[in-house]
Amino acid sequence: MKTPVPCDTRRTPFAEARRSLRLAVAVIAAMHLTALLWIVIGWHLAGR
């Protein structure tokens, strides 16, 4: 009976870079969304 081998036994630098790149893209997208939200709120408040 074999023991199940975990999938990430070989952690290649390519996979690490791809994960960090995806994290950076998510952080940048969240920052852009929050900045856009603040711009829209400020624009609505200034319009009144």
Phi, psi of 17 (to 5 degrees): -65, -40
User: Which residue has 């791809």 as its token pair?
Assistant: 18
Structure token digits, residue 6? 């975990």
* pLDDT band of 6, cuts 50, 70, 90: low
Give the mean model confidence (pLDDT) for residues 17-45. Answer: 95
Task: Please give the average per-residue pLDDT across 4-33, as a whole number.
Answer: 83
Its domain, for residue 40, covers 22-47
Domain count, the chain: 1
pLDDT top residue among 16 and 32: 32
Q: What is the pTM of this model?
A: 0.54
Alpha carbons within 13 angstroms on the beta-carbon side of residue 44 total: 5
Q: For residues 12 and 19, give the distance between their C-alpha atoms in angstroms, rounded to a whole number.
A: 11
pLDDT band at 10 (very low <50, low <70, confident <90, very high): low
Position 11 in a domain: no
**Mean of pLDDT values over 16-40:** 95
On whether residue 31 sits in a domain, the answer given is yes
Tokens of residue 16, six digits:
């690490």
